[in-house]
Amino acid sequence: MLFNSYEFIFGLLPIILVGYFLLVPQKWRHGWLALCSFVFYGWWDYRYCALLLLAICVDYFSGGRIAATPDPAKKKRWLLLSICSDLGMLGFFKYYDLGAGTANALAQWAGAGHGLLPLLHLVLPVGISFYTFQSMSYSIDIYRGHARPARSFVDFACYVSLFPQLVAGPIVRYHEIDNQLRVRTHSWAKAGAGIVLFVLGLSKKVLLADAVAPMADWGFAQETIGFAGAWSSLVAYTLQIYFDFSGYSDMAVGLGLLLGFQFPQNFHSPYKSASITEFWRRWHISLSSWLRDYLYVPLGGNRRGPVRTFVNLFLTMLLGGLWHGANWTFVLWGAYHGALLALERMNGKRGFGWRLPRVCQVGGTFVLVMLGWLLFRAPTLSEVARMLQGLAGRNGWGTAYPLADAGSLNWALWLLGLALVFFARNTWEIRWRPSVRLALGLAVLFLVCVATFLVNTSSPFLYFQF
């Protein structure tokens, strides 16, 4: 189910809130939220609820056994069970066809026949990359002594399946929400701030991301594209993915506040970064910190000399790229960012133009990020090469997205999006806690706006595919 759909806004969300605050006894609230979250998730395909439930059961049981046993060897075995279960499930559904296709291609190239491994054409369960990482972090943190076991299976099921952040983050770690599962406050101030964040996030998605998406799609669909079309389309996708994903994250945090939860910040104006290192401190913060703490640090981090540090950075980003999708373009995207991070680490974590004024550093970093998004958006390497020809001017100036029909509005919002990412305050910084009366007025106004023109049920969020 989509946040930007009538079914959610006028159907499931009111049922959840009414049940949570009015109908369900307080001691059953987490069970109610878990049940509603499974309905939210199963709306897409109820069969995949079994995978979510499997992850919850294995990690809850493993975490409990890790905390209960004093034997280090047994602790490690339970931890391995948790990690292997989560990664095995993620790997099978997300990467089997990529691995089988690659193995078949290599076998055919080597003259050993073809079609050695069957392609299963599995449908990727929505959100599996997010909830497996989140659930797995519970067992790891208990093993490290960074978290205590959940009070009950229902609490843990609520934590993993909680619908605001279930399918596209932010990736919330158990120790960040443990105390809130035990005791949290509800207030009109929180609810008002949640409504504001949800409205801002929905506006980012529908008014900006969806508006520039046709410009990006147009450019990547051209067989031959010129300089103007290639750059304007790449900028359009750069804006689309930012407003789409940051909009979802704002909506998730807003919904969490309505239920009394405070989720961590996931975006901090990343396109204002003066280096790639700074960009990854600001973009998808929950994933960046997860990769740092559960992959980069265990690999050795920066504790084993500069060469090993560069290798660890590169490997972390390589696997981070693979996490995003089962395509070699994602692997190259991760390798690209890993190489840039390693080069900046050699330069003392400074950007390549660190001697220049900050505005030049930000502009240069923005271009580097955009070139990375080319690998992220293009489905094949041949399409990457075609777009690179246009970006380099090999096909002349060419034409850009046409102004006819609604094109002028798309261009206006394209310009507005550019202005916002560089000059507007981050939504996290402008969170506002209105009064009770004003919060209720905002809620009514919001519902009227949604009912008339905001909702677009045909436009899923980009990160749903990961």
Looking at 163, 183, 203, which one is the last position of a domain? 183
Q: Rounded distance, CA 261 to CA 431, Å?
A: 15
337 neighbors 280 (Cβ within 8 angstroms): yes
pLDDT of 123 = 80
Tell me if the bond preceding 170 is cis, omega within 30° of 0: yes
Looking at 144, 159, 183, which one is the last position of a domain? 183
pLDDT of 112 = 66
Whether residues 21 and 128 fall in one domain: yes
Whether residues 61 and 196 fall in one domain: no
pLDDT of 450 = 62
Looking at 162, 183, 204, which one is the last position of a domain? 183
Whether residues 169 and 30 fall in one domain: yes
pLDDT of 68 = 92
377 neighbors 237 (Cβ within 8 angstroms): yes
113 exposure class (CB count in 10 Å sphere: 0-12, 13-18, 19+) = exposed
Q: Rounded distance, CA 267 to CA 251, Å?
A: 12
245 within domain boundaries: yes
Q: Rounded distance, CA 20 to CA 446, Å?
A: 21
Task: Give the structural domain span for 94.
Answer: 6-183
Whether residues 162 and 198 fall in one domain: no
424 within domain boundaries: yes
68 within domain boundaries: yes
Whether residues 113 and 236 fall in one domain: no
Q: pLDDT tens digits for the chain (466 residues)?
A: 787 788 888 889 999 999 999 887 788 999 999 999 999 998 888 888 999 999 999 999 999 999 999 999 999 999 999 999 999 998 888 888 777 777 777 777 777 666 677 877 788 888 888 899 999 999 999 999 998 999 999 999 999 999 998 887 789 999 989 999 998 888 888 888 888 888 888 888 888 998 899 999 999 998 888 999 999 999 999 999 999 999 999 999 999 999 999 998 899 999 999 999 999 999 999 999 999 999 988 888 778 778 888 888 889 998 888 888 778 888 999 999 999 999 988 888 788 888 889 999 999 999 999 999 999 998 888 999 999 999 998 888 888 888 776 678 888 999 999 999 999 888 877 666 666 667 667 667 666 666 665 555 557 777 666 6
Q: Rounded distance, CA 95 to CA 319, Å?
A: 12
Q: Rounded distance, CA 407 to CA 398, Å?
A: 17
Whether residues 52 and 78 fall in one domain: yes
What distances in angstroms separate CA 392 from CA 133, 232, 372, 385, 397, one per listed residue? 39, 13, 15, 10, 10
pLDDT of 391 = 92
pLDDT of 127 = 84
Whether residues 37 and 60 fall in one domain: yes
209 within domain boundaries: yes
pTM of the model: 0.90
Q: Rounded distance, CA 62 to CA 79, Å?
A: 7
Q: Rounded distance, CA 20 to CA 31, Å?
A: 10
If one counts the domains in the chain, the total is 2
393 within domain boundaries: yes
Whether residues 20 and 162 fall in one domain: yes
pLDDT of 451 = 62
What does the block give as tokens for 157?
A: 């099921």
283 within domain boundaries: no
* 121 in active site: no
315 within domain boundaries: no
Q: Rounded distance, CA 415 to CA 366, Å?
A: 15
Catalytic option among 146, 175, 284, 324: 324
Q: Rounded distance, CA 387 to CA 223, Å?
A: 9
Whether residues 100 and 193 fall in one domain: no
pLDDT of 199 = 82
Whether residues 196 and 60 fall in one domain: no
344 within domain boundaries: no
